[in-house]
Chains A and B, each alone.
Chain A
Amino acid sequence: QVQLVQSGAEVKKPGASVKVSCKVSGYTLTELSMHWVRQAPGKGLEWMGGFDPEDGETIYAQKFQGRVTMTEDTSTDTAYMELSSLRSEDTAVYYCAKYSSSSSGLDVWGQGTTVTVSS
């Protein structure tokens, strides 16, 4: 049974960067394709990017290209999402989620990490 446990809440100033972690248990990270989705307060879900197993590359939503970096540490089975040049509109709950090749959906989710950007 795969479980994803994310790091705790963060408060950042505008212009700073934030790095959210997602620890995998029950599987090794190399067996998974991880994606990241965010949700601003009272708003809908927004896909940020994820690993494409067919190409073996990470793909990013155009909106975040140049500002987001998704990485993995296979030695600790931890995935990371770093977002730079933060602005108030980046205040949101950030989720990691596992892609299922059998269902082509995000079938296991982390609990979410709240990132607040405020001066």
Chain B
Amino acid sequence: DIQMTQSPSSLSASVGDRVTITCQASQDISNYLNWYQQKPGKAPKLLIYDASNLETGVPSRFSGSGSGTDFTFTISSLQPEDIATYYCQQYDNLSWTFGQGTKVEIK
């Protein structure tokens, strides 16, 4: 199975800060990577697909980049409503895997 290593596992930032999360795949997955946001007690929400495409209705402060094995997720200006756990997920082969998640908190 392809392993997804996400970092950091948690972070604390101030409102307005730029926040960056990385995800590394154990092998080349091209751009077959999605990013999800999960708020406490809620189902996940798809934010970014194919590594860099913004899902319809998602604010433009969210972005993604990367290909191959190294990927980055960015919140350009952290807002209070962005408090959540973020997960990367690969779909390169017939066995999908999620990263372990990054919990984002407000400082």
A104 within 8 A of B: yes
A105 interface hit (Cβ, 8 Å): yes
Q: How far is the CB of B95 from chain A (nearest CB, A)?
A: 6
Q: Considering only CB atoms and an 8 Å cut-off, how many residues of chain B contact the other chain?
A: 25
Q: Which residue of B lies closest to A103 (CB)?
A: B49
Say whether A46 faces chain B, with CB atoms less than 8 Å apart.
Answer: yes
- The contact string, 1 if C-beta is below 8 Å from chain A, for chain B 89-103, is 101001111111100
Q: Are B46 and A44 in contact (CB under 8 A)?
A: no
Pair B95/A103 contact, Cβ less than 8 Å: no
A residues in contact with B46, CB < 8 Å: 100, 103, 105-107
* A107 surroundings in chain B (CB, below 8 A): 46, 55
Chain B interface (Cβ < 8 Å from any Cβ of A): 1, 32, 34, 36, 38, 43-46, 49-50, 53, 55, 85, 87, 89, 91, 94-101
Report the 3 A-B pairs with minimum CB-CB distance, sorted nearest first.
A109-B43, A103-B49, A105-B34
The interface of chain A, by Cβ under 8 A from chain B, is 35, 37, 44-47, 50, 52, 59, 61-62, 95, 97, 100, 103-107, 109-112
